[in-house]
Amino acid sequence: MNPSLAADIAAAAARLVVEDGMEYGPAKRKAARALGRHGLRPTELPSNETVEDEVRDYLQLFCADTQPQELAALRALALQWMERLAEFRPHLGGAVWRGTATRLSAIHLDLFCDDPKSLEIELINRGIDYDSAARPDGRGGEVPVLSLGARCAALGETVTLFLTVQDHDDLRGALKPDAQGRSWRGDTAALRRLLPTETVA
């Protein structure tokens, strides 16, 4: 792909991520269509890392006065749920972990356990309503994804949580860093280190 076009798609996708709360994949495809490039394969689109860099630039330019507080609120909410679901080895990923989340972002938790149904049983026992779906696992199969709404008092609204259930043996691979050495997800202890002391207390 022309480097200039790739940069334009990444910049347009970043705006959709920040302003509309879209996930990276749909944002990239919508941005490409808006620029007249229909039917591009995923490998022909900018990488998530490239879009994320554009998101960081956009946040710095237009959201510097609000985004840090919104991110802290989402991380605090994520920590609450990670502590509730500690037995499932929760790891925070997505924009909330990577530091680019706004009030429109969802919280993505990866849970590593031997029995995928055990999480559903736990939620049912706690009286927590959820929806169930699945996504490709990259190996020709699927992994369960449970979604639910959680009230965030600091933001004054309900935030969507996505709970992706993975095999315990997949944990080591999930902790591999990106091309720049940054982690894709972190456990409860790692998240606590990112939060202000007064937020964690």
- Say if residue 189's pLDDT is above 80: yes
Dihedral-angle region of residue 92 (phi above 0 means left; psi in -120 to 50 means alpha; beta otherwise): beta
Domain that holds residue 93: 67-200
Task: Tell whether 140 and 51 lie within a shared domain.
Answer: no
Order of strands across the sheet that contains 107-113: 90-93, 107-113, 157-167, 142-152, 131-136
Task: Tell whether 125 and 182 lie within a shared domain.
Answer: yes
Task: Tell whether 134 and 186 lie within a shared domain.
Answer: yes
Task: Tell whether 77 and 8 lie within a shared domain.
Answer: no
Nearest-angstrom CA–CA distance, 56 and 53: 5
Q: What is the pLDDT of residues 95-141, one digit of tens each?
A: 999 999 999 999 999 999 878 789 999 999 999 999 999 988 777 88
Q: Which of 71, 70, 118 is nearest to 92 (CA)?
A: 71
Q: What is the pLDDT of residues 35-66, one digit of tens each?
A: 999 888 888 999 999 999 999 999 999 999 99
**Cβ burial 175-188 (10 Å sphere, 16+ → b, else e):** eeeeeeeeebbbbb
CATH classification of the domain holding 193: 3.30.460.10
Nearest-angstrom CA–CA distance, 142 and 131: 16
The pLDDT mean for the chain works out to 91
Per-residue pLDDT band at 201 (split at 50, 70, 90): very low
- Say if residue 34's pLDDT is above 80: yes
